[in-house]
Amino acid sequence: MKEILTGNEAIARGAYEAGCQVATAYPGTPSTEILENISSYKEIYSQWSVNEKVALEVAGGAAIAGAKALCAMKHVGLNVAADPLFTLAYTGINGGLVVVTADDPGLHSSQNEQDNRYYALHAKVPMIEPSDSQECLDYIKYAFKLSEEYDLPVLFRVTTRVCHSKSLVTVGSRQEVGVKEYKKDVKKYCMIPGFAKMRHPVLEEKLKKLREYSNESHLNQIIWGRKGVGIITSGISYQHAREIMGDDASYLKLGLTFPLPEKLVREFAQSVEKLYVIEENEPYIETFVRTLGISCIGKDVLPICGELNPEIIQKVLAPEKARKTYTVDVQVPSRPPVLCAGCPHRGVFYPLGKYKDAVITGDIGCYSLGILPPLNATDTLICMGAGISAGIGFEKAFMQANKDTKVFGVMGDSTFFHSGITSLIDAVYNKSKLAVIILDNRTTAMTGHQENPGTGKTLSGDVSPVIDIKEIVKAVGVKPENIVVVDPYDLVQTQEAVKQAYEAVEPFVIIAKRPCALLKNTSKPRANSKCTINQAKCTKCKLCLRLGCPAIAFKNDVMVIDEAACNGCTLCIQVCKTGAVERMCK
């Protein structure tokens, strides 16, 4: 049967057909839809974990216990999960373990453009790269076989373009394999130094065999065309190069990209007149080719930053092949990202941004948009959890400089569960004066409304205990009198809480609790409570524009509210000093 699937959908289908039994992840674009799709296959136990490290440890434990397991994450998530990945390479696995890393060339939704191919090299685990949806399905099945055969976790590296592009896929049926028997073996699975010393040579021996195998694997193949130009490539870069050159070039298409196939590279290089290495981001393959003493053209003519596309490759390989392009005279206006109309985070950033002498350390989530005008309420954004821990560092640096600068640390509920709890413990333990604001919108909003420990539901939709953020904050040592729960739609209440936090000399936590405005059970009840502007009362002071709400605009010399965009949060009513903003009666 044939279906049109995205790469993420195809990975999920491939895991199902391979007989995968356990799947874990923490949501992160561009990988999120892998677990969302796997969860529809009831034969597979699937879960959102609180972070990527936990997700890989759960999957690793399941694999050692005998199950086929998959763990998915975006590229920066592998930084969090690196600890278990490196050690699982030493221990090996039992049932089979595939770790999906979804890299993001072009930074469509990420804070950096790191190239996770180097993780395979560093952790010494085999790596597979598909170039389209059919290969996503086929290669994930093959990854499980490779994992079992070599007793190693396999890194399955995809990119945004592969994850989200759709193509025709032939799907098959599930192979039921059952859970393998687990046999206790402390010398294999308990990595105390003495046992780890014995496992390292075992890993090196596996890599020797894999290096030989990479030359024979069907995942690495030569596609002969004209031999004037030879291209070594992998992943989506193969599709781009093929689109431009077609049969006017020959290709060494790499699917098993660690270990790289030395013999095959030499054979291919000797058969072509001019050799190019086409790859996104780092010169990972190019460096390998050059270490073999083979001359090639790569990053000296291709960009190291951003995604590649056919146009970029054409300018290098075939500038004479003019591609038809179309232009229009209309200049498209810029549309910077903003917090959604009705976003509860706006009710926090609006009063917080008034403290111009304070430093605000932010975190990863929708609320990162508080950085932008007119809110201007963030100084730093580094990684998950740093909203608190970087704030501690700021405060301690200011203390060393004898500066009495107040520091606020801001993060969301899912981020708090991910890595904020340990940061808050650090703040309490080290007697920080940091003011922490936890934006609890009852979902993991930025990646598409996934469940988390505070929502009361699991990935599969089962009811689960709601982890109470306030109780956690109390449990780690923040004094009850220094914990305030506010409704960010109540500006007076929120402003007072921010003022208390600003003046506090001990760890102070504000929990801003209000569901995401885009959740169906949130937006539907407010459908008839939208706002409008009474032009007779409006003085055009434009104070409401300072909220940064996309529903409010100054148009044709009057202030207006777009009824279709308005979410009925009423923040504009509270900000307006003339009473010009009113509820729309229906």
Q: What is the mean pLDDT of the chain?
A: 95
Evaluate if residue 212 carries a pLDDT over 60: yes
In angstroms, rounded to a whole number, what is the distance separating the alpha carbons of residues 272 and 101? 33
The answer to whether residue 494 is domain-embedded is: yes
pLDDT, tens digit (0-9, with 9 covering 90-100), for 349-367: 999 999 999 999 999 999 9
User: Residue 433: what pLDDT?
Assistant: 96
**Whether residue 252 is found in the same domain as residue 280:** yes
Over residues 282-294, mean pLDDT: 98
pLDDT, tens digit (0-9, with 9 covering 90-100), for 1-31: 999 999 999 999 999 999 999 999 999 999 9
Burial class (CB in 10 A: 0-12, 13-18, 19+), 205: exposed
**Whether residue 189 is found in the same domain as residue 68:** yes
**pTM for this entry:** 0.94
In angstroms, rounded to a whole number, what is the distance separating the alpha carbons of residues 120 and 31? 18
The answer to whether residue 327 is domain-embedded is: no
Evaluate if residue 138 carries a pLDDT over 60: yes
**Whether residue 190 is found in the same domain as residue 272:** no
- The residue out of 178, 195, 214 marking a domain boundary is 214
What six digits make up the tokens of 574? 């509270």
**Whether residue 409 is found in the same domain as residue 371:** yes
The answer to whether residue 340 is domain-embedded is: no
If one counts the domains in the chain, the total is 4
Farthest-apart Cα atoms in the chain, separation:
82
**Whether residue 423 is found in the same domain as residue 556:** no
**Whether residue 92 is found in the same domain as residue 183:** yes
The answer to whether residue 370 is domain-embedded is: yes
**Whether residue 136 is found in the same domain as residue 282:** no
- The residue out of 195, 214, 233 marking a domain boundary is 214
Over residues 545-564, mean pLDDT: 95
What CATH number should be reported for the domain holding residue 298?
Answer: 3.40.50.920
What CATH number should be reported for the domain holding residue 575?
Answer: 3.30.70.20
pLDDT, tens digit (0-9, with 9 covering 90-100), for 414-463: 999 999 999 999 999 999 999 999 999 999 999 999 999 999 999 999 99
Query: What is the DSSP pairing of strand 229-234 with strand 221-223?
Result: unpaired
In angstroms, rounded to a whole number, what is the distance separating the alpha carbons of residues 303 and 230? 19
**Whether residue 300 is found in the same domain as residue 404:** no
Q: What angle do CA 228, 234, 235 make, to 5 degrees?
A: 135
**Whether residue 310 is found in the same domain as residue 236:** yes
- SS3 state at 234: strand
With residue 408 as reference, give the H or E element that holds it. Answer: strand 407-412
Q: Which residues of 278-289 are buried (b: 16+ CB within 10 A; e: fewer)?
A: bbbbbbbbbebb
**Whether residue 210 is found in the same domain as residue 237:** no
> Residues with Cβ < 8 Å from 532, sequence gap 6 or more?
561, 563, 581, 582, 583, 584
pLDDT, tens digit (0-9, with 9 covering 90-100), for 362-385: 999 999 999 999 999 999 999 999
User: Residue 329: what pLDDT?
Assistant: 82
pLDDT, tens digit (0-9, with 9 covering 90-100), for 65-75: 999 999 999 99
User: Residue 585: what pLDDT?
Assistant: 66
**Whether residue 40 is found in the same domain as residue 189:** yes
Half-sphere exposure of 551 (CA within 13 A, CB side): 22
pLDDT, tens digit (0-9, with 9 covering 90-100), for 571-583: 999 999 999 999 9
- The residue out of 162, 187, 214 marking a domain boundary is 214
Residue 466 binned pLDDT confidence (cut-offs 50, 70, 90):
very high
What CATH number should be reported for the domain holding residue 209?
Answer: 3.40.50.970
**Whether residue 188 is found in the same domain as residue 240:** no
User: Residue 290: what pLDDT?
Assistant: 98
The answer to whether residue 325 is domain-embedded is: no
Residue 489 binned pLDDT confidence (cut-offs 50, 70, 90):
very high
The answer to whether residue 322 is domain-embedded is: no
Note down the domain range covering 20. 2-214
**Percent of the chain whose pLDDT exceeds 90:** 94
The answer to whether residue 338 is domain-embedded is: no
Residue 335 binned pLDDT confidence (cut-offs 50, 70, 90):
confident
The answer to whether residue 333 is domain-embedded is: no
135 C-beta neighbours (distance < 10 Å), count: 25
219 C-beta neighbours (distance < 10 Å), count: 21
What is the DSSP track for 360-404?
A: EEE-SSGGGGGGSTTT---SEE-STTHHHHHHHHHHHHHHHTT--
**Is-contact 126 154, C-beta < 8 A?**
yes
Query: What is the DSSP pairing of strand 581-583 with strand 531-533?
Result: antiparallel
